[in-house]
Structure 1
Amino acid sequence: MSALWRGPARRIAGDAPLLVPMTIAQLDAVMAIEVAAYAFPWSRGNFIDSLAAGYPARTLVDGHGALLGYFVAMGGVDEMHLLNITVAPAAQGRGYARRMIDALVGLCQALPARSLWLEVRASNTHARALYEHLGFVQVGLRKGYYPAPFGRREDAIVMSLAIEPAASGGPDALG
């Protein structure tokens, strides 16, 4: 996984923005997006710990190097778990989340991982619709998983995507 994932920056489609390995040096920009996008953001420490653990983490940057989004995943024996995927609020609605998920699916195929898992807030209807459109299915519910305003908790919908083997001889999604 490391050689494939930590290679040079790669375009994810034509003239699209680049997916590049997330670095500590990018964390100020990552955190700016994280706190703008979420009422209950990940901490800087969450990102540092993920990078230190070697988790697959990528940032999506435009041609000028501006950060558009990012994701962090965690590999398992034969599965991948998407821990965080975020598109900058100003860049939402342009297909960037779908492109990042497509690239992550390509990584899953290369490993190979048989499934991609995630949790999503029950109230996040836009993300849930995207995941369902991409073929994710609900496989569970985590009661009170996420913090919510006024000391409450919000349920997480657990979703999974079965990963189809990559076509032999074709380029991977990151190449």
Structure 2
Amino acid sequence: MTVEYGALATGDADRCAQLEAQLFPGDDPWPAVAFIRELESAHNHYVAARVDGEVVGYAGVSRLGRKPPYEYEIHTIGVDERCQGQGIGRALLDRLLEIADGGTVFLEVRTDNAAAIGLYESAGFAKIGLRKRYYRVSGADAYTMKREAS
């Protein structure tokens, strides 16, 4: 399987919404319009993983603040269940961290998502807080994680 990485486009919004529904069914998955709004914002950067032209993964980060040194917040990373465990999530995360260019990066992750927590910890993130009932629909808790500026 050859995976190609590049910018996520507004034309990918429907596919991303399909993946959201697959990956986050009990946690208010983003509809296509949410992806379009994210992509239209100048301070957001989204990347896609494609296999044979089909989006199989996506990830987004937002730059916070108006003046350097900037901080960043990862909004989402999702990989099609059929393609998980093949390094696509890691590659997407690496691309987001390149965009952050050594700045401090924050994210939230479900406390029961051991695979994602392991990925983030292996990339230098540490748990810094707990957000009770962060996911509104399911009521699941989330860890806030932080990767210090390098």
Q: TM-score, normalization: structure 1? A: 0.76
Aligned twin of 2:74: 82
Give the whole-Å Cα distance in 2 for the aligned partners of 1:29 and 1:46. Answer: 12
Match of residue 121 from structure 1 = 110
Partners of 1:56 and 1:116 lie apart in 2 by 14
Q: Number of residue pairs matched?
A: 143
Instruction: Name the residue aligned to 1:170.
Output: none
Counterpart in 2 of 1:3?
A: none
Is the 8 Å Cα contact of residues 108 and 163 (structure 1) preserved in structure 2? no
Please state whether the residue corresponding to 2:133 is helix, strand or coil. strand
1:3-60 superposed Cα distances (whole Å, 9 cap, x missing partner) = xxxxxxxxxxxx9622221112111211111111111211222212111113101111
The corresponding residue for 1:106 is: 98
Runs of 4 or more above 6 Å deviation: none
Distance 2:106 2:149 in 1: 10
Give the number of the structure whose alpha-carbon radius of gyration is greater.
1
Where do residues 36-75 of structure 1 align in structure 2 (5 Å cutoff)? 36-39=22-25, 40=27, 41-54=29-42, 55-62=44-51, 64-75=52-63
Whether the 8 Å CA contact 1:86–1:97 is kept in 2: the answer is: yes
| Distance in 2 between residues matched to 1:142 and 1:45, nearest whole Å | 26
Q: What is the TM-score with the length of structure 2 in the denominator?
A: 0.87
Contact 2:13–2:33 under 8 Å retained in 1: no
- C-alpha deviation, 1:118, in angstroms: 0.4
Give the unaligned 5+ runs of structure 2.
Answer: none
